[in-house]
Every structure is written in C-alpha cells, then in structure tokens.
C-alpha cells in the first residue's frame, strides 16, 4: 500500500459476518498521527464490531488492518494492547474486584519496558520506572477526577465512575492509538464535560483517537473527520460539518429528527 508516513491506522475492505448477518461489509478507514476520527451510526451498525476487530477480539473474514504499517489481524488482544493500542469498553465491568488505583497501575505496567523478571534482576531501574509510573498515574487520577475511587473496587463504583476509570486506565497505558466505545453514554452533563476534557487532553498529546459516540455535540467538537456506518457499510465520510449536512446520514438516523435535536 502506498501511504503517507504518518498514517497510524489503515483499514481496508474489512468484512465480518455472524452466520447470515454482515456486521461489517467492506469497511475502509485511515487515521493519521494525532487525528480524532469519530465513527457514528445507528445501533447495530457495526461500530463495536469494528473496535473488536482492531483489538483482536473478533477476527474479520476479509480485509486488512495495519497499525503503523504492520498487519495486526490474527494477533491476540494482549499482543495488540502491547503495541500501544488502548480501548475502552461500552459497559466496563472487567475486573469487578480491582480498586481504582490498581486498575490504572495495571494499565501502566502493560506498557513499561521492564518485564517481571527484568524487574527482579535490575531492581534499581524498575524502581525508577515504578516511581515515574506512580507519579503519572496520580496525575491522571487528579485530572480524571477519580480521587474518591482510588481505593474503591469496581463493583462499588457508580456507572459514571466506572466510565471515568476506564478512560483513565487507557490514558495510563501511554497509548499511541485509543479506541473509545461510547465514553459518554449514560453520563450526566457534568461527567460528559469531564470526559470531553480527557479526550481533548489525549488529542493534545498527539494520540490518535477513534471515537464512537452518539452525543453529536461532542462529535462535532472533537473530531477531525467523521465516518458513518449503517448496516455494516460505510455510507459517508467527511468533516463534522459535511456529515451534519449529509442527507443519507440524516436518513439513517430516523428521518434526521434526532440529529437536528442533538445538534441544536
């Protein structure tokens, strides 16, 4: 493939099927370093499937996914995470007994260079890394406003707090590419604003972001480009303004009414 050097993610002709259903049908998408690309579309359009393919949870039937020029199809989720691809889950309930701070530290360790064995052999270096990690994690805790759940297990957190911790966990990884699956769904206006700031901070750090989100105000504000999926197919791509004016897109959303209301 002939691509500019700063392409972080390049997806071509991606297809995924479940028995008779085409969850993804020939989807293509690319993201440059530091870009935020939103993926929108009605429920069941294939948005989460797309993230599951990129992160190794689903294996596509056809197509190719290159991360920094390297084909990642067939790799396991933990191998893909190690490459620096972080994701959040739509309804985060993984590790129900882990406490807020431990989740962030675990996310961080995935990415520090020191392996467990190395850490035992070269205590000095890993101690320095540990200190740096703790410092960065505390920074993120403050920024994500999750101080009150540092010592609270996931089970005892509110839904909103779980979503906050989920984003903070991915930030703690120090990722190169982040995939956010409806990070604002179910949050009140205040929490949405906090999440908005977290995403803006990632943008400022030049992290490439794929954002799945129904909140059109956030999509308009945060995205460089918007990709629209419907029934597994990409039906439109453009700047947020272009997409808002696209009639086919409006049609995919219940005659466009929900769209205009959200944008107002």
Ligand X SMILES: Nc1ncnc2c1ncn2[C@@H]1O[C@H](COP(=O)(O)OP(=O)(O)O)[C@@H](O)[C@H]1O
Which parts of this chain interact with ligand X (CB under 6 A)? 18, 21, 23, 41, 43-49
Residue 260 near residue 76 (C-beta atoms within 8 A):
no
Residue 197 near residue 7 (C-beta atoms within 8 A):
no
Residue 68 interacts, among ligand X, Mg ion, none and using kind-specific CB cut-offs from 5 to 8 Å, with none
Cα distance between residue 235 and residue 229, in whole Å: 6
Which stretch in 43-51, 69-77, 166-174, 185-193 sits in contact with Mg ion by CB under 5 A? 43-51
Which stretch in 48-56, 123-131, 156-164, 254-262 sits in contact with Mg ion by CB under 5 A? 48-56
Under the binding rule (CB under 5 A), the answer on residue 38 touching Mg ion is no
Min separation Cβ 181 and Mg ion, Å: 6
Backbone phi, psi, residue 62, to 5°:
-150, 160
Residue 190 interacts, among Mg ion, ligand X, none and using kind-specific CB cut-offs from 5 to 8 Å, with none
Cα distance between residue 12 and residue 23, in whole Å: 15
Instruction: List the beta strands (DSSP E) in the chain.
Output: 7-18, 21-32, 36-40, 62-67, 70-71, 85-87, 177-181, 208-212, 225-230, 233-238
Closest CA to 240 of 263, 208, 264: 263
Min separation Cβ 29 and ligand X, Å: 14
Min separation Cβ 49 and ligand X, Å: 3
Q: Which residues make Cβ contacts (< 8 Å) with residue 65, sequence separation at least 6? A: 9, 10, 11, 14, 53, 54, 71, 72, 73
Q: Which of 48, 114, 161, 164 binds Mg ion (CB under 5 A)?
A: 48
Min separation Cβ 18 and ligand X, Å: 4
Nearer to ligand X, 49 or 103 (CB): 49
Nearer to Mg ion, 47 or 108 (CB): 47
Closest CA to 111 of 142, 89, 133: 133
Min separation Cβ 237 and ligand X, Å: 16
**Torsion sign across C-alpha atoms 106, 111, 115, 121:** negative
Q: How many residues does the chain have?
A: 264
Nearer to ligand X, 46 or 240 (CB): 46
Which stretch in 46-54, 61-69, 81-89, 160-168 sits in contact with Mg ion by CB under 5 A? 46-54
Nearer to Mg ion, 39 or 81 (CB): 39
Number of residues that bind Mg ion (CB under 5 A): 2
First to last CA, the chain: 41
Nearer to Mg ion, 54 or 172 (CB): 54
Q: Which residues bind Mg ion (CB under 5 A)?
A: 47-48
């Amino acid at each position: 493939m002939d691509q500019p050097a700063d392409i972080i993610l390049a997806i071509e002709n991606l297809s995924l099927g479940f028995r008779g259903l085409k969850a993804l049908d020939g989807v293509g998408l690319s993201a440059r370093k530091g870009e935020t690309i939103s993926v929108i579309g009605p429920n069941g359009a294939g948005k989460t499937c797309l993230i599951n393919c990129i992160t190794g949870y689903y294996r596509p039937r056809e197509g190719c996914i290159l991360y920094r020029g390297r084909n990642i199809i067939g790799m396991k989720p933990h191998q893909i995470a190690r490459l620096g691809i972080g994701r959040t889950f739509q309804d985060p309930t993984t590790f129900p007994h882990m406490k807020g701070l431990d989740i962030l530290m675990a996310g961080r360790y995935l990415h520090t260079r020191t392996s467990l064995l190395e850490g035992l052999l070269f205590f000095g270096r890993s101690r320095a890394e540990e200190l740096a990690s703790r410092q960065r994690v505390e920074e993120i805790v403050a920024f994500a406003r999750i101080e009150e759940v540092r010592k609270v297990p996931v089970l005892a957190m509110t839904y909103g707090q779980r979503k906050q911790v989920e984003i903070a966990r991915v930030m703690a990884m120090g990722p190169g590419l982040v995939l956010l699956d409806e990070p604002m769904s179910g949050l009140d206006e205040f929490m949405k604003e906090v999440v908005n700031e977290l995403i803006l901070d990632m943008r400022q750090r030049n992290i490439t972001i794929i954002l799945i989100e129904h909140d059109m105000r956030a999509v308009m504000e945060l995205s460089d480009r918007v990709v629209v999926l419907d029934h597994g197919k990409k039906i439109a791509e453009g700047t947020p303004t272009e997409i808002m004016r696209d009639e086919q897109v409006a049609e995919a959303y219940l005659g466009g009414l929900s769209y205009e209301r959200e944008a107002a």
